[in-house]
């Protein structure tokens, strides 16, 4: 996603304007401050930031876990090597240290040994790397310990799911919801970068749109949440359109915003529009940005947040 630059009187206002123009929530925004707001005797400087939609991490969760384990092993190895350098330096002692504990600590058994050895055993029993399938059972203090299974969540998010597979799941999930509601429809998807467009098509689907598109918005949120869980938290952004409603609304909003912007240029007076959701506000901001002589801002809090078109 390309960076955009926005200017406002305060940093908070600039950030809110960036959220509107990008059509995302705060958790999905990445921004950098270019100019801090300043007040002077003869001149005032507005806040200026550049922002974009935060890229989705492509790093595999198992890579993050593996890196974390390697970091821990590296720190443990440094501590062990430091302990050996202070000792006698005998080959036997060094070999015992590499296997994890001195001869005296291993011989002490479950009920003996130093307190540090007990702490190491307690830490080892609750975390660290676990035996994989097919590995032999290990002994600790003479007692056998059965291999522990990896948590199921780790298996689910071991790899980042390809966007094609995510689109398949989103389409199947949306179709299942529509079918459960007793409606007949077809679902197709289009994907680009980190966005998936789910298009529900059919006849008599007005109930799926709802007043001002609120039901369609709810369908989008449920589908997005299900996909995020299915993909282990690394999912693309999902947009749902029912019977072309979103496309028609975008076109109507763009035309309306263009007319209002032209009136603002002609009269020199600001116009405040009706409250809109983030996606609709983005359409207005994008349309007005193409018209010279006007600038846009936002005021209010969701769900009563609205776009204001001002003369430049």
Over the stretch 92-123, which tens digit does the pLDDT of each residue have?
A: 444 444 444 443 344 344 444 444 444 444 44
Residue 137 or 19, more confident? 19
What pLDDT, in 10s, does the model give residues 166-196?
Answer: 999 999 999 999 999 999 999 999 998 889 9
- CA angle 84-86-87, nearest 5°? 65
What pLDDT, in 10s, does the model give residues 52-82?
Answer: 888 765 544 455 445 555 555 555 555 554 4
Ordered by where they begin, the domains of the chain are 163-243 (3.30.300.20)
Alpha-carbon distance of 17 to 8, in angstroms, equals 8
Q: What element of type H or E holds 284? A: helix 278-289
Alpha-carbon distance of 153 to 233, in angstroms, equals 11
Decide if pLDDT at 91 tops 80: no
Question: Would you give the distance in Å from CA 27 to the centre of its chain?
Answer: 7
Alpha-carbon distance of 9 to 22, in angstroms, equals 19
Question: Would you give the distance in Å from CA 84 to the centre of its chain?
Answer: 45
What number of other Cβ atoms are within 10 A of residue 35's Cβ? Answer: 13
| Predicted pLDDT at 39 | 76
What pLDDT, in 10s, does the model give residues 213-266?
Answer: 889 999 999 999 999 999 988 889 999 999 999 989 999 999 999 999 999 999
Decide if pLDDT at 130 tops 60: no
| Predicted pLDDT at 137 | 42
Q: How confident is the model at residue 212 (pLDDT cuts 50, 70, 90)?
A: confident
Decide if pLDDT at 200 tops 90: yes
| Predicted pLDDT at 70 | 54
Alpha-carbon distance of 32 to 39, in angstroms, equals 21
Decide if pLDDT at 128 tops 90: no
Chain mean pLDDT for the chain: 75
| Predicted pLDDT at 120 | 42
205 and 182 in contact (C-beta within 8 Å)? no
Share of the chain above pLDDT 70, in %: 65
148 and 130 in contact (C-beta within 8 Å)? yes
Alpha-carbon distance of 221 to 198, in angstroms, equals 12
Q: How confident is the model at residue 308 (pLDDT cuts 50, 70, 90)?
A: very high
| Predicted pLDDT at 303 | 81
Which residue from 245, 252, 166, 249 is spatially nearest to 202, judged by alpha carbons?
Answer: 245
């Amino acid at each position: 996603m390309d960076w955009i630059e926005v200017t406002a009187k305060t940093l908070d206002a600039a950030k809110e304007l960036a959220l509107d123009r990008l059509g995302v929530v705060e958790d999905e925004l990445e921004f950098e401050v270019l100019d801090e707001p300043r007040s002077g005797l003869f001149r005032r400087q507005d806040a200026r930031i550049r922002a974009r939609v935060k890229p989705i991490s492509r790093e595999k969760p198992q890579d993050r876990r593996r890196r974390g384990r390697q970091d821990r092993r590296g720190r443990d190895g440094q501590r062990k090597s430091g302990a050996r350098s202070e000792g006698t330096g005998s080959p036997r002692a060094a070999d015992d240290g590499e296997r994890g504990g001195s001869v005296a600590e291993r011989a002490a058994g479950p009920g003996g040994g130093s307190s540090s050895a007990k702490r190491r055993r307690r830490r080892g029993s609750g975390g660290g790397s676990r035996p994989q399938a097919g590995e032999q059972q290990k002994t600790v203090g003479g007692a056998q310990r059965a291999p522990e299974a990896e948590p199921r969540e780790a298996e689910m998010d071991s790899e980042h799911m390809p966007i094609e597979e995510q689109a398949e799941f989103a389409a199947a999930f949306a179709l299942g919801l529509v079918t459960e509601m007793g409606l007949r429809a077809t679902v197709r998807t289009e994907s680009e970068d980190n966005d998936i467009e789910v298009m529900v098509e059919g006849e008599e689907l007005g109930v799926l749109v709802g007043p001002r598109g609120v039901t369609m918005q709810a369908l989008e949120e449920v589908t997005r949440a299900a996909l995020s869980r299915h993909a282990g938290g690394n999912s693309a952004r999902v947009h749902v359109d029912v019977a072309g409603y979103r496309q028609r609304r975008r076109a109507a909003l763009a035309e309306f915003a263009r007319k209002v912007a032209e009136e603002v240029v002609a009269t020199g007076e600001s116009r405040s529009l009706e409250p809109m959701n983030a996606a609709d506000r983005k359409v207005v901001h994008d349309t007005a940005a193409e018209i010279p002589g006007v600038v846009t801002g936002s005021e209010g809090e969701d769900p009563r947040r609205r776009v204001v078109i001002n003369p430049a």
